Structure 1
Amino acid sequence: MAAITYERLKNNIAEDEVSGPLVMVTFRCPLTEKLFHSVATMREAGSEASGVSALEGLQASLHTVFAPVQETRHDKVSGKPLEHHGGTNFDRAAHERAVVEAFEAVAPQFAWDNERNAFIDAEEAKNPLCQFDRQLLDHPIDASWERVVAARMLAAIAAADGKVSAGERAFFASVLNSETGTLDSLIKEGAPSKLELAETRPGGRATMLMLAYALALSDEHLDASEIKLLDKFARALGVNMEREESIRHWASEKVVENMLAGCYADGRLDADEMKRIEGLARNIGVNEALVAKIDVRVRKRLGDK
């Protein structure tokens, strides 16, 4: 199975623009002409985090929620090194890595098509989205104030145990923007009140809770402080216990899918990676049969026969 590379994406890239270190890419399905917008940040070679983590996979999903607010003119990408704010120059390789990262944020909505030598809409390829991605697509958090409420929920989850790791700080720095504020400002403001959560629109409430569960599960377990806070969020959002259990299941499945997709990024899954994924799945309540089903879905999406 081939890895996702810039070369494999060439037939999907409809538009590619740069603003500062950000690369904004529009990917097109060549079969339906449907457009998918995404964004990623250019980084110097070697600055990416080593290894694959569940938190890294969630980062791609949250980029579709907290897409950076653009306040500058978009300069078209050219074939020369790209100069950005602060005088930093990024070469073509940095740009191509960012395009791949941008695609990873929308990759669950695509599947590889050998005939067209391109990725096509996953539903056209009869490779349906998981419930997590379906919820995110059908019920986006598209109001500015609701995105801030969601960001405060996530910050509260991160700080629930009284400490925030360096990895969590890097994660939030990559997904937050001028609209949401910084992680520290969100933590200082505190978790949304029952009234604030109750005032959110019904369609996005399950999405907010689902994202909070996904973040909590990304460290491979739920501690008592996180469970208490998630229960509080669920009740304030009007989500009953049966619905909450379904949402938790969607988030758990997505965490496993993220790990599998990250491990397959180089085109293969080795024994140590599979052992780690199996351990993660056990810890967050995903059984072996479902892991196998998710594995097939991820491999099919990436072009495995």
Structure 2
Amino acid sequence: MISADKTSAAASLSSLSEAQKGASPFDLRDYLNQRQELVESALDASIEVVYPEKIYEAMRYSLLAGGKRLRPILCLATCELAGGTLEMAVPTACALEMIHTMSLIHDDLPAMDNDDYRRGKLTNHKVFGEDIAILAGDGLLAYAFEYLAIHTRNVAPDRLLKVVARLGNAVAATGLVGGQVVDLDSEGASDISLATLNFIHTHKTGALLEASVVSGAELASADSDTLEKLTQYARNIGLAFQIVDDVLDITATCEELGKTAGKDLQAQKATYPSLWGIEESKRQAQQLVQGAKAALATFGDRALPLIAIADYITERKS
């Protein structure tokens, strides 16, 4: 199922490492552009269209629909921070994006959030039908674990097993699925507490972000202190990311978001702005980002990409 292009991917990895030597000051835009290019190339090579073509086309349609690729980039960044290489982290980075894409396909279904657009394109079920969209999500989820298990190189087996378990925990009822259930149950309720809202988003959004951050370091055999600090960073940026999402749902346009704006209000969902207001929500997000950056203080320049990404979360417009 893997396309050719391994030579091209290896060349991209090599040129990326060379381009970063001696780079100062840190340029987040350049960093994100290079990493996105690497991730896009690896994702494109990861799934080939074979019989039955419809399901592979549906999987590729959403997987290659663009986006910030924040989760795979975080995985790559923390692997390097912990002394690992891009090569050892790319399969896990791809797996994380496959899992994230599955969650978006399923989240957009009429039985869930019922959205027609994602990343500026028609959602999967609008193009392929609800039945194929469900199966495309299922296919991506299963393939994510197969892909990282088969294609990861130069990683200790016990570390790879921990990463597999971490990703499974992040997507199961202990993570994304559990958060989605409480989110659906909470629609239309007028008495949703901050504790419930935090539960929804630390599981529905935060769990996979945390897995993205920590798994990269896990691949590189990071020690427990490093993993603990990265976990704190990840939890803070995960919640900040969702707070900013809630604000953008109110303040941004459909063109800026690439999806339908105002969906939370339509669905009568509890959001951080509905509890705190927009300005306080922004302040809380900024406070979380400051805490995330503080957790990385001991890593010095190795943490520059993660620090810049934390700032980017509160400054983004989509």
Q: Same fold (TM over 0.5)?
A: no
Greater strand proportion: 1
Query: What is the TM-score of this pair, normalised by structure 2?
Result: 0.30
Higher relative contact order (CA 8 A, sep 6+): 1
Instruction: Normalising by structure 1, report the TM-score.
Output: 0.31
Q: Which has the higher helix share?
A: 2
